Structure formats: structure tokens, C-alpha cells
Structure 1
Amino acid sequence: MTGGGAPPGLALKSAAGRWVLAAAVLGSGMAMLDATVVNVALPRIGANLHAGLTSLQWLLNAYTLTLSGLLLLGGSLGDRLGRRRIFAHGVLWFAIASAGCALAPTVQVLIGMRAAQGVAAALLTPGSLAILEAVFRREDRAAAVGAWSGLGGVATAIGPVLGGLLTGLAPWGWRLVFLLNLPLAAVVLVVTRNWVPETRDEQAGGRLDLTGAALAALGLGGVVYALTEGPVRRWPGSLLATAAAGVALLVAFGINEHRRQSPMMPLSLFSSRQFSAANLVTFLVYAALSGSLFLLPVQLQLVSGFSPVAAGSSMLPVTVVMLLLSARMGRLAQRIGPRRPMAVGPVLAGIGLALLVRLGPDSGYLTGVLPAVVIFALGLSGTVAPLTATVLAAAPEHQVGIASAVNNAVARTAGLLAVAVLPALAGITPTALAHPAALSTGFHHAVLIAAGLCIAGGLLAWLTISDDVLAGEPAPAVPAATPPAPHPPSLPGH
């Protein structure tokens, strides 16, 4: 099976099928693992490289920016040039960029290498799911994607704990977080080369939307740069011009997508009221999650005195609850409609985030963190599957893959903007890392703002989402956008 025209025929339980699944899981798991372990390492990176809060923001946003801007392009390249080929290139480049991160002598070099990681992740992330959809026989695809999602959840769960263990070994232990990707990448490349067949979409027509990708990445970059640096530099004219240029480029991106015959992001998808509403709910909820959970490991380590391991383990209940309840909530939404779960879930998650306002210098895990995390997890479990089902059901059948990828891009963009803006809105200054009391006060403001965004998402869902959108639709096998833990990994069904 070397072309898109050959029918997919691998059985999941065959030896070849297991190797293909292993390659997809380990490849995407690298990106998931990296996203989760880095958050826990942020305080140690800041101390070791003498980096302030703004630099730590860029360590996350440089990765998310390149990934968000190039995610859809990465999927299109795989469809046209070969999914195995682009996936393997992404894995190789991710390993090279990870080595660069581990060896970075300054925070500026580390930020640049993180941006390079994002470019590589934009190639390998959509390819991992596309390979499963293209290679397995139809009756095994849902099971393959379900296994991929569950095993990816394991990577998300162990990431913070592993990151805490490695970071706690020494002041330079955070470098081991990045070196961990090298042996994983070597295994993925060997398995991919020997067992993953090449596939492509022979019907993919039109030229690649390179203009759209450039406009989206540059536009987002300009806006995020201005929002991150503005509070630090007190908004000089050059930054205002950068922000205006970024907005203009994003407008040009919209015009480009409207005029192209084969756009990277078909604007016709947004003609569906349900699709637009679900993505707006996604934006509000994921902005809240990404912004608040970026600050949580910092608060736990620098204010509450948690070790890197304890801080990394603090969100494990979220993964456990999600694994136990997400599928059940998907079936519930299928039975009663998505409106009520999508309204109640974000409100409950917002209450959980608001309870984090109790965290301070003397907070313990069982009384200070666990109750908030459990309520937050229950709310998130009620949100993700119904939200996914609504996004996919609101799109035409032939555009379900791109609809899922667009929803991922919305979630990532929300997180990107939240990490840039929320610290300033909460009054957290670039010098706050050296002043625990000021950091704690800002964190309390931040989680309340995030809670408000979540609750607003629930109210919007109640006002806009229709229960009829899921009539006759099967429950989704995998989320269109997975929850951040603590920074959102992507599960795009491209």
C-alpha cells in the first residue's frame, strides 16, 4: 500500500498493525510529553539561565506559536508528499531541536530551539493520526484511534512526574527533560521506516497554501510579541506598530483564505452557527485553562514550597478523572444532547480554578490543591467530549478532518494569547519570580480571571448550542482538542 488509491487494510491486532500504532503513539507522545514536562521545569530553567517571567512565557509561546501557525500546513504536506515521509521528518527535526534545547547556553537560544520544536511538531502531530486513518481497515480505525488517545493520555499523565524527577536531580536537571526525546525519536524512526507504509491523498488538489501559513504565523507572532513585551516595555510606539502589523496580517490571512480555491482553513466551515459557537466556547475555555495552568507549577514551587516532583504530580487526578469519565460524558451528550454538558462542564471547571485562590505559603496538597483539582477535572470531563462531538457534527462529512484541525488551532491560539496576556492582567510583573508574596497575589487574580472565562464559556454554550446538532451522530473516538496538562497537546484528526 504505497499510494492513497490503495485501500487501507491493516488489522489492528496484526503484528504490522501493532508496529504502526506504536510509531504513531510514540511520535505524538514525544510532543505531548515535552509539552507537559517543560512547565514543571520552568522555575529551575529561570534560576539556572537567569530568566525572568517574560522569558518563561516565551519558552511556552515560541513552541505554541510555530505549532499553531503551521499545524494545518503540516497536515496538507503529509496529504500531498506522503504522510510517513512528513511524519518521519517531523520526528527527526524534533529530536535535533530537542538536543539544541538541552545544550542551550542562554535563554535566548533555548527560546529559538523551542520555536524549532514547534515547527517539527506541526509536521509530526497531524501525521500521527492521519497514518492511522489511512493505514487501518475501516472497522479497526476507531479502536486504533482510541488506543492512540488512551496511550497518549498516559504520556500526558507521566510527563509532569517525570519532568519533576529529572528537574530535581540538579540545577541543570531540566536539560535531561529535552534529552529524553532523543532515544524516543530513534525508536520511532526505526519503527516508521520498517513497518509504516506510505500513504497520501491522491485527490488533494490545488497548490499548498504557503501564503496563508506565512500570514497566520507572522500575524500571530506580531500580536503575541506585542502583548508579551508591552507590559514590560510600557508600550513604546514600535510595539504598537508591531501589534497593528500583526492584526493587519491576520486580516490578510482571512482575505487570503476567502479567495483561495484550496484554502488552508476553509472559512465556509464558520457559516455553521454551531461550529462557530463551539469554537468560541473552545477559545474561552482553553484560554482559561492554559493561562492558569501555566502559572500553577510556578506558584506551587516558588510560593507553596512544593518540590518539582510534587508540583508535577499535582494534576494527576485530572488525567485519572478524564480517563474514567470522558467516554461516559460523550455517550451522555449523545443521548441528551451537548447543550447541558457544555454549559455545566465549564462552570464546574471555573469553580475548580477559583478554589485555587486559597493556595499560599502554607498550603498542603490534600487541603489546598486536591479539592480544586478534582472539581476542575469533573468540569473538564463534562466539557471535552461534548465539545468535540459538536465541532465534528457541525462540519460537512468531507471536512471533518479539517474541522478537527481548525478546532485544535483555535485551542492553541487561545492558550498562546492567554499565556501572553494573563500575567499582565493579573498584575504579575516580570520581577515577580523573586518576590513570592507579589507572585501569590497575582496568581490569585489570575485564577479568578480564568474562572470567569470558563464560566463565560458555559453561559455561551447554554445560549448558543443546540441539542439537535448531535442527532444521528456517533460519539467521537478522540477529542478534537485535548485538555492542557498543563499546556495543551494536540490531537488533530487531519
Structure 2
Amino acid sequence: MSSPSVTSPSSATASAASPTPAAGRRANPWLTLAAVAFGLFMVGLDGSVVSIANPEIGRDLDATTADLQWVTNAYLLALAAALILGGKLGDRLGRRTVYLVGVAGFTAASVAIGLSGAIVPVIAFRAVQGFFGALLMPNTLGLLRAVFPPRKFGMAVGIWAMVSSVSTALGPIVGGLLVEHVSWESVFYINAPIGVLALVVSALVLPQSRNEAARGEKFDIPGVALLAAGALLVVFGVVKGESWGWTSAGTLGAIAAGLVVILLFGRYETRVAAPLLPMRLFRNRALTIGAVLTGLNFFVLLGSIFFVMLYLQNVRGFSPVEAGVRTLPLSLASVVASPLGAALTARFSARLTMPLGMVLQGAASFLMLTWGADSGYGALWPPFVALGLGVGMVMSASSDTIVGNAPVADAGVAGGLQATSLQVGGALGTSVLVSLISGRVGSSLGPSLVSAGVPVRTAHQLQGAEDAVAMGVAPVSAAMPERLREAVVEGSGHAFVNGLHTAALTTGVLCAAGALTAVLGLRGRREE
């Protein structure tokens, strides 16, 4: 693999910023990889495990559907607002130091969530957890970029991507076991032993690395405020689009205001001596495309996991463990795909692996169009395999194109950029796809109920339960006659599947567009 570079005036300082690890264990890059894997696994697991715990949290804490969405979205909003800040702090103060603070804070916030006992503090501590996750995540890649030589960085990124993909995919399985056999609180308590182990191992083996040239520079506080405000407004507008309506003044106003603030941030960053996010990074086309497709990658992954778990648990009636086990092919496929994607990227470039991953994810989405309310497992597992392969391929390729194309001095910022793209994409995926499902359920619920044998008048009365049906829950009661109850369950299942098909078609088209963008926009060799 050729040495990554971005043509810029600061290139000369990049090598000067490279750390010289201490002798012994702190000089071993593979121990560094093992140490950051613990923190990365904890964050990845937490990002998807909540989808399994949400139904039980709702029942135990008497939370509404909107409350449960905020359990997920408060975490994602905090991450989106602070990830680039976390990377910049690592470059400036020391990536090891900021990483350890992130691990400690994330672990403490996880325990606090389990002890909360009410939905409002759960949401609040999820935001705190997201902030510390933003300190942790970008510095995992920053530390790897600083200690691995260029020819081995691609394989390190492949293993990094494998840990990230597998931890995300294992979330439903681990969450299902804990929720079913222990409690929903244990989903968060499990971060305590992982976090303590991460702190101990990291303190022993991680070398310190920072951009020495930036230590005397003035910190870009206005840039922090502008970026955080812009990211919060955009993601908030998307999150509220479902309840406010996508064409409402509130939704469009929030998104438009966020985009304006982000544009102001970009303009401001070109005029400041020590920017939070150097705009010169985006001169590299591979880095820019990698950031966009990283967001799309997690838009598809987290959005799909969200509606797939609703389908398996609420429509098909599987327990959390049964649902989690049925998604195991996704985890196994990602184990294979990430290192394979890194090897193929090193040999043939991201121009092969990135579109290939997008095509596989698109195939998974289009295969979901064959699902019905009672499909057998033979129709379920092929999309899981294709999705896992695609996510792993894109993750390893995009990590290489983003962090590998940035100077060592900006490794933390580049890691923050990738992590921001990832988390914003995940937030958008969950919110947009849930909204699409809700809209389709609303328009098809009445006809689906009537087709299943529900009397027209009763179907009209049940139309108000579209929010529950959009979550895969049939609006039945014990007072209903058995035949009517069966008809309502059948009709509600068909309405939800209609919504699932709309979401799957959307992700499939987006993946096709992403594959085309990678083919046309990336070069066969890393840009110099």
C-alpha cells in the first residue's frame, strides 16, 4: 500500500507529528489495536443492543413510542455533535488521554442508565453516554494511524472494521439474551466489565500520540459551536420529521437552519488559522466520497436492523433471543467481509471494494422485497448474509479512504469525520425509514384489514392505531372475538410488511446510487 498523503501546506508537519512509541509493549502496534478494540466493541454493541431493549424499556418505564425513539436519538445526537471535537481534542491533548477519558465516561454513563428508574433520566444519560462515545471513537482510528506503518495500516483498518461490524451485528443477540433472561438494565450494565477491562489494558499498552505542532495554537471554539449547532439542527429536524410531518414548517425549518449553519461553519473554517476541521482535507476526492458512503453504509445498516427487529419480534412473534439468533448470519458475514475487504482494498483499491459492498447491501434490500408477514427462514437469511458482507466491505474500504488519506497530524480529526458520517447516517437511517414505514402503514392499514376479513366499520375504527402497527404491533384486545382478532393480526402484519417494503426499496435505490458514485468518483490508485 502506498503512503497516504494529502497535498497541503501542513504536510511537512505531518511526519513531525508522528509519535515515537516508548520501548516494549507501548511500541507494539498490534497491542494498540487490541486495546482500542475493547472500547470500539463496547460502543458498537451499545449502538444496536438498544433496539432489542426498547420494547421492555417502554413496558417497564411506561414510555411512549416517541420516548423510545429519543432513547436512541439522544445518544446519536450527542455523538453527531461532538465526534469531530473528540478527534480534535485527541490530536491536540493526546489521543491516549482522550480515549481513556471517553472509555471511563461511557462506562459510568452506562451504569447510570441502568440505575435511572425513569424514562427522562434514561434519555439524559444516553446523551451523556453519546458525548463520551464521541471522545472515544475517533481516537481509536487516530491511534492506529499513528502507530501502524502505511503498508500495514490497511489490515489494521480491516480488523478495526470487523470489530465494529461484529459488535453492531451482535447487539441484537446479546441484547436478546440479557433482556429475556436478566433485565433491560443489564443491557447497559454489561458495559461496566468491558469498560474496566478496556481501561486496564489501554493504560498498560497504549502509546501517547498527538499533533505537537497544534499544542500552541488557539482552540477553535467558534468552530466547535457552529458544527455542533448545525449537526444538532439537521439531525433534530430529521428525527422530528416523523411526528411533525416531512413538509411541515418545523421540520423543513430545522433542517434548512442546520444546513445554513454548517455552510457558515465551512466558510469560517477556511478563514481561521487553526481550524477544527481543516477544509483542505476535502480536496482529496477519495476522502470526501469515503465520508459520504460511510454515512450511507450506516444509514442502511442501523435503519435495516431497526425495522428487521420489529418484524421478527412483533410481526413474527419471536422472542428477543430467537430474533437475535436469526440475525446471526449478518454477524458471521461481517467477520469474513471486513478483513477480506481490507485485503482487496490494499490489492485493488477502494474502487473495487466500495462499490462491491454497496451492491451487496442493495441486493440485501431488494431481497427483503420478497418478505411477507409469514415468510419462512429460507427467505430471511440471504439478505442478512448480503447485508453483513456489504457493510464489512464498505466499512474497511471507507476507513482506508478517509483516515488513510489524511496526514498523520490530522488522524484524530479524520477519525472524527468518519465517525460523524457513520453516526449521522445511522440517525438518519433509523428516523427516515421509520417515517417511511409509518407513512406507508397509514395509507395501507384500512385496506389491509378489510382484505384480511375485518369489517369495514371496524377497520375504520382501528385506523387510529397506525402508530402501533408501524411498530409491528397488532391493535387487538382480549374482548375481541377470536376470528376478528386473527383477522386484525393478519391485516396489521400485511400493513407493516407494506411499510417494510417501502423502506427496503428506498435503501436499495440509495445503495445503487452509492455504488455508481464510487465507480465514477474513485480512482484505481490512492490519490496523491
Interval of TM-score (by shorter of Structure 1 and Structure 2): 0.7 to 0.9
Change (3 A) 1:6 1:470: closer
Cα pair 1:68 1:409 within 8 Å, conserved: yes
- Whether contact under 8 Å (1:343, 1:458) holds in the other structure is yes
CA pair 169-291 structure 1, distance change in 2 beyond 3 A:
same
Partner of 1:7: 20
Question: After superposition, what is the alpha-carbon deviation per residue over 1:70-103, rounded to whole angstroms, capped at 9, x for unaligned?
Answer: 1121122223333333223222221221122212
Q: CA deviation at 1:403?
A: 3.4
Aligned to 1:324: 336
- Residue number among 278, 302, 319 corresponding to 1:307 in the alignment: 319
How many residues end up aligned between the 2 structures? 465
Distance 1:23 1:430 in 2: 43
**What residue is the counterpart of 1:415 in the other structure?**
426
Which secondary structure does the structure 2 equivalent of 1:203 belong to? Answer: helix
Contact 2:113 2:125 in 1 (8 A): yes
Do structure 1's residue 375 and structure 2's residue 386 form an aligned pair? Answer: yes
Residue number in structure 2 paired with 1:208 = 219
Question: Distance between the aligned counterparts of 2:205 and 2:227, measured in 1?
Answer: 35
5+ residue gaps, structure 2: 1-16, 442-465, 475-491
Structure 2 vs 1, CA of residues 415 and 262 (structure 1 numbering), >3 Å: closer, same or farther?
same
Matches within 5 A, 1:149-298: 155-156=167-168, 158-169=170-181, 173-193=183-203, 196=206, 198-205=208-215, 206-234=217-245, 237=249, 240-298=252-310
Provide the rounded CA distance (Å) in 1 between the counterparts of 2:151 and 2:523: 30
Paired position in structure 2 for 1:78: 90
Residues 289/193 of structure 1: CA separation in 2 closer, same or farther (3 Å cut): closer
In the alignment, residue 171 of structure 2 is paired with which amino acid?
G
Structure 1 residue 290 displacement after superposition = 2.7
Consecutive unaligned residues in structure 1, runs of 5 or more: 472-494
Separation in 2, partners of 1:282, 1:152: 13
C-alpha RMSD over aligned residues:
3.4
- Indicate the SS of the match to 1:168: helix
Query: C-alpha distance in 1, partners of 2:95/2:297?
Result: 32
C-alpha separation between the residues in 1 aligned to 2:154 and 2:341? 17
CA contact (8 A) 2:99 2:140 kept: yes
Q: Contact 1:342–1:461 (CA<8 Å) still a contact in 2?
A: yes
Partner of 2:511: 454
Aligned equivalents of 1:143 and 1:337: distance in 2? 13
What per-residue deviation string (whole Å, max 9, x for no partner) do you get for residues 331-376 of structure 1?
Answer: 33444444344334312321212212333432333x1311111233
Q: Which residue pairs with 1:490 in the alignment? A: none
Counterpart of 1:261 in 2: which secondary structure? coil
- In the alignment, is the contact (CA less than 8 A) between 2:87 and 2:414 conserved in 1? no
Does 56-65 or 378-387 show the bigger shift?
378-387
Identical counterparts, % of pairs: 35
CA gap of 1:373–1:10, structure 2 versus 1, over 3 A, is: farther
* TM superposition score normalised by structure 2: 0.77
Question: Contact 1:42/1:298 (CA < 8 Å) preserved in 2?
Answer: no
Number of the residue aligned with 1:40 = 52
Amino acid at match of 1:119: F
Query: TM-score, normalised on structure 1?
Result: 0.82
Answering whether residue 182 of structure 2 is matched by residue 125 of structure 1, we say: no
